[in-house]
Structure 1
Amino acid sequence: MKNILPPGQFKTEKWPVLHQGDVYEFDEETWSFKLFGEVQQEITLTYSEMMALPKAISTIDMHCVTTWSKFGSVFEGVPMRELVHLVTLHGDVKFVKIFGYYNGDPFGYSSNLPLESLLNDDALFVHRWKDGIEGEWRDISPKHGYPLRFIPPSSFYLWKGTKWATGIQFMKQDEAGFWEELGYSMTANPFKEERYR
């Protein structure tokens, strides 16, 4: 569904900055990324270990619940599936919760998503991007989630894209994340205008 404007959205050429809480200040010495939950063994990655994982490049449309949509941004990052390959999941894992920094707490923010929808090249933990095919590569900014921000497929509103990502919890049952606990949709499909519960 590339370059299709969902109902209630307007197209923008900019990438607006919207977030809750403080902007995380990256410190490579203390940064880590945890894979936990319904796994046989938890894994914690350092920044260098994360950056050494295979990466993918994908063009992803972004749709924000505040009604803007931005088409054609190109992202490079670690696909969700590469992180799934690092752990042995217990049976019937169908959901994940992706965590990120919130006001100094490495696991203060979270967003829930169905795992099956995140196993292609359009579900990335991104570190750099360019504005369209002809743009120049640049690191994502601290306000956009540096050093690592999850960008979900365009079939989800962008609040599912956790900034300052710190881990993935693998789950058998769906659980509300940060905004979902405040009344936002659990499924968040912009093409069905699933903004709120």
Structure 2
Amino acid sequence: MAKQLPPGQFETEKWPILHEGDVYQFDEQTWEFRLFGDVKKEISLSYSQVMELPKTVSTIDMHCVTTWSKFDTTFEGIAFREFLRFVELDPDVKYVKIYGYLNGDRFGYSANLPLEALMGDDALFVYRWKDKHHDWQDISPKHGYPLRFIPPASFYLWKGAKWASGIRFMKKDEPGYWEQRGYSMTANPFKEERFADPADAFKLW
């Protein structure tokens, strides 16, 4: 079956590198993954605890708001849903923020997403990848090592997070890093939801 290219996108076989700020330098001794927000009890997991979680392998299409799309990249990682075993959510939690490092700030980057959309095999915190041109390899620091959140293909790629550092559970939706700068809260590439105001055509990141 032919892949569907969202409007305004072009297909590439490369995996372009775009990010805000400095490349995070991983230190296992200080790294931790925080689960917090509207939960009964907040928790932090070490790198070894995260890497002991069940693994999922999934092939995911990526659509970047800068207009490139890459089909059929296979990732290995930890499914978003695996982290739910550690927290008891408050009633009516329907949204999350995925956080990542930005210029040394553990929570400097964030992206908001609906919880319901993240329960499948295509919502992964990934650490290695392959495609038809590459065998299995760890993601590089510039791609988000040691852990990068890749969202389902029904969202533009900025809804992921390089150098992932935690999940905040929320009852109400709240804009993340790029949403605060005028990007769409929902970010559906097939509806070309790039900006909160379609007329607000400032420079793509």
SS at match of 1:137: strand
SS at match of 1:53: coil
CA distance in structure 1 between the aligned counterparts of 2:7 and 2:21, rounded to whole angstroms: 29
TM-score by length of 1: 0.97
CA distance in structure 1 between the aligned counterparts of 2:80 and 2:161, rounded to whole angstroms: 13
**How many angstroms does 1:85 deviate by?**
2.0
Aligned to 1:190: 189
Q: Which runs of structure 2 are paired with 1:92-171 in the superposition (5 Å)?
A: 92-132=92-132, 135-171=134-170
**How many angstroms does 1:38 deviate by?**
0.6
CA distance in structure 2 between the aligned counterparts of 1:95 and 1:25, rounded to whole angstroms: 29
Aligned to 2:22: 22
CA distance in structure 2 between the aligned counterparts of 1:117 and 1:124, rounded to whole angstroms: 12
SS at match of 1:17: coil
Instruction: Output the amino acid matched with 1:28.
Output: E
1:82 aligns with 2:67: no
Contact 1:58–1:75 (Cα < 8 Å) also in 2: yes
Aligned pair in 2 of structure 1 residues 95, 175: CA closer, same or farther (>3 Å)? same
CA distance in structure 2 between the aligned counterparts of 1:135 and 1:164, rounded to whole angstroms: 22
Aligned to 2:200: none
TM-score by length of 2: 0.94
Aligned to 1:179: 178
CA distance in structure 1 between the aligned counterparts of 2:175 and 2:44, rounded to whole angstroms: 23
Number of residue pairs matched by the alignment: 196
CA distance in structure 2 between the aligned counterparts of 1:38 and 1:3, rounded to whole angstroms: 38
Aligned pair in 2 of structure 1 residues 2, 61: CA closer, same or farther (>3 Å)? farther
- Taking only the aligned residue pairs, the percentage that are identical comes to 70
Q: Which runs of 5+ in 1 are unaligned?
A: none
Q: Which runs of 5+ in 2 are unaligned?
A: 197-205
Instruction: Output the amino acid matched with 1:62.
Output: M
CA distance in structure 1 between the aligned counterparts of 2:54 and 2:4, rounded to whole angstroms: 29
**How many angstroms does 1:180 deviate by?**
0.3
**How many angstroms does 1:2 deviate by?**
7.7
Aligned to 1:36: 36
CA distance in structure 1 between the aligned counterparts of 2:144 and 2:26, rounded to whole angstroms: 10
CA distance in structure 2 between the aligned counterparts of 1:171 and 1:41, rounded to whole angstroms: 14
Contact 1:75–1:126 (Cα < 8 Å) also in 2: yes
CA distance in structure 2 between the aligned counterparts of 1:2 and 1:23, rounded to whole angstroms: 35
* Cα deviation digits, residues 65-88 of structure 1 (max 9, x gap): 000000000001000000012210
CA distance in structure 1 between the aligned counterparts of 2:47 and 2:11, rounded to whole angstroms: 35
Aligned pair in 2 of structure 1 residues 171, 2: CA closer, same or farther (>3 Å)? farther
Q: Bigger shift: 134-143 or 52-61?
A: 134-143
Where does structure 1 differ by over 3 angstroms across 4 or more consecutive aligned residues? none
CA distance in structure 1 between the aligned counterparts of 2:55 and 2:182, rounded to whole angstroms: 34
